[in-house]
């Protein structure tokens, strides 16, 4: 059984590497600014979570893979080190110039080491994952030249060489005497506010004033509001699910000992939210909206990042998403009046995904609470968290001024003109 156990050992290492990528590369999402970058990172994280899941399933068919899901301390140290740069673009370069190429090399090594027929199921998986990794490199390449990361890349390559590469199968190079692990000297901390790059920002895109924000709360549910205005407002709402992308991405590294299935479902949740944001990002320009006039709301990230991960997740799933269904049902009915098949389709998938996310919340919230040492009954905890959110919002909410003056920013009144009803 030695040959089986050797391949199982490699599969186990590949599973752990992909798992740690999911846990740590998510910190890049709220640190890069361009929506396209965020969307791409969410996709790569979701695909890596899928790689890890299939590696685990195949590995459990082989003697020697093991039944647990723990990650080796030396691997965790490497990936924890990779998140440490203060500049998110330097960290991005480290992941995609050092760790992703090393992972691709590890997959190629697996193909060279195994038997084409005896281990056919594993080979088919690994061949697909190699294609994904090659595509990830091509897709991210245009985003990697934003900063000079030369010194950091050398630092990570030195750390990787000391481990004998990701698989530990290369000669282990001793660390230089002046090498210092950044992650040993300080703990990783989330940004106080997320990066939105070149885009204008504000506290919230929701208000009661059509001269203030693009989404006017009473208009969403007023039967007299023209359906074309509803469609524009809901696309703004969807694009602003980028809020959810940024704050959900913070939960992974804060729960390093979570069951893999929890992180797998969080990765799917993250990818869903990024797709929803893309619905608005791609549809609004078709309807005449200049995206540089649409301010990005930062309140939810700024408030939630002050709260522990189980409270962030509770507010997301049990408050924001669960509470959105009645309004979104009315919105879907109104948009249906326009006979806009694409809008109907996007809203239907958004609603279906959100229902799944609330199911995730019911399933995983008790687990995240336990990881955070909270033993209260779930209902009591959720009510207390709602009250705590309101208190934290008094301190950290509504602190982002409008980046654009009223005459330049997108507002409800301007949506009336874009819709042709003003």
DSSP letter string, 177-246: TT---HHHHS-----SS---TTS-EES-SEES-TTT-SEEHHHHH-TTS-HHHHHHHHHHHHHTTHHHHH
CA-based nearest residue to 385, from 297, 267, 303, 266: 303
Mean pLDDT along residues 370-392: 98
How big is the CA angle at 97 (ends 93 and 102), to the nearest 5 degrees?
Answer: 140
Cα 336 to Cα 343: distance, rounded to the nearest angstrom:
8
pLDDT digits (tens, 9 = 90+) for 165-193: 999 989 999 999 999 999 999 999 999 99
Q: Do the strands 296-297 and 215-216 form a parallel or antiparallel pair, or are they unpaired?
A: unpaired
Q: 296 - beta bridge partners?
A: 201
pLDDT digits (tens, 9 = 90+) for 18-40: 999 999 999 999 999 999 999 99
**3-state helix, strand and coil shares in percent for the chain, rounded to the nearest 5:** 65, 0, 30
pLDDT digits (tens, 9 = 90+) for 196-205: 999 999 999 9
Q: Quote the pLDDT of residue 2.
A: 76
Give every CB contact of residue 396 below 8 A, 6+ residues apart in sequence.
302, 303, 306
pLDDT at 404 over 80: yes
pLDDT digits (tens, 9 = 90+) for 90-129: 999 999 999 999 999 999 999 999 999 999 999 999 999 9
Q: Quote the pLDDT of residue 146.
A: 87
pLDDT digits (tens, 9 = 90+) for 356-367: 999 999 999 999
Tokens of 355: 């229902």
pLDDT digits (tens, 9 = 90+) for 328-355: 999 999 999 999 999 999 999 999 999 9
CA-based nearest residue to 3, from 11, 163, 55: 11
Provide the 10 A C-beta neighbour count for residue 79: 24
Cα 285 to Cα 1: distance, rounded to the nearest angstrom:
60
What is the model's pTM?
Answer: 0.96
């Amino acid at each position: 059984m030695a040959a089986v156990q050797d391949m199982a050992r490699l599969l186990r290492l590949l599973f752990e590497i992909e798992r740690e990528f999911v846990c740590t590369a998510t910190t890049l999402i709220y640190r890069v600014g361009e929506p396209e970058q965020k969307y791409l990172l969410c996709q790569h994280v979701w695909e890596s979570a899928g790689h890890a899941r299939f590696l685990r399933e195949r590995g459990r068919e082989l003697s020697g893979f093991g039944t647990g899901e723990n990650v080796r301390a030396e691997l965790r140290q490497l990936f924890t080190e990779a998140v440490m740069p203060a500049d998110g673009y330097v960290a991005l370069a480290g992941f995609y110039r050092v760790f992703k190429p090393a992972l691709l090399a590890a997959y190629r090594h697996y193909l060279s080491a195994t038997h084409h027929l005896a281990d056919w199921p594993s080979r088919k998986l690994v061949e697909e994952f190699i294609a994904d990794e090659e595509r990830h490199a091509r897709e991210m390449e245009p985003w990697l030249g934003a900063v000079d990361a030369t010194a950091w890349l050398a630092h990570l390559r030195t750390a990787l060489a000391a481990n004998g590469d990701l698989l530990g199968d290369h000669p282990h190079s001793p660390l230089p005497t002046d090498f210092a692990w950044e992650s040993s000297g300080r703990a990783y901390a989330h940004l106080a506010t997320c990066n939105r790059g070149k885009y204008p920002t504000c506290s919230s895109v929701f208000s009661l004033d059509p001269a203030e924000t693009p989404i006017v709360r009473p208009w969403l549910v007023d039967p007299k509001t023209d359906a074309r205005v509803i469609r524009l407002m809901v696309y703004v709402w969807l694009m602003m699910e980028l809020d959810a992308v940024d704050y959900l991405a913070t939960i992974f590294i804060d729960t390093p000992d979570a069951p893999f299935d929890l992180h797998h479902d969080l990765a799917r949740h993250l990818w869903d939210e990024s797709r929803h944001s893309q619905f608005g990002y791609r549809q609004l320009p078709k309807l005449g909206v200049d995206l540089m006039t649409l301010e990005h709301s930062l309140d939810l990230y700024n408030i939630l990042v002050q709260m522990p991960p189980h409270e962030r997740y509770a507010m997301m799933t049990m408050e924001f998403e669960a509470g959105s269904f009645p309004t979104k049902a009315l919105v879907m009915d109104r948009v249906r009046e326009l006979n806009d098949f694409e809008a109907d389709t996007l809203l239907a998938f958004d609603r279906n995904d959100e229902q799944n996310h609330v199911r995730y919340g019911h399933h995983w919230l008790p687990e995240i609470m336990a990881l955070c040492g909270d033993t209260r009954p779930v209902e009591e905890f959720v009510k207390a968290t709602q009250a705590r959110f309101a208190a934290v919002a008094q301190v950290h909410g509504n602190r982002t001024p409008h980046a654009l003056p009223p005459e330049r920013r997108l507002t409800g009144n301007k949506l009336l003109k874009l819709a042709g009803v003003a």
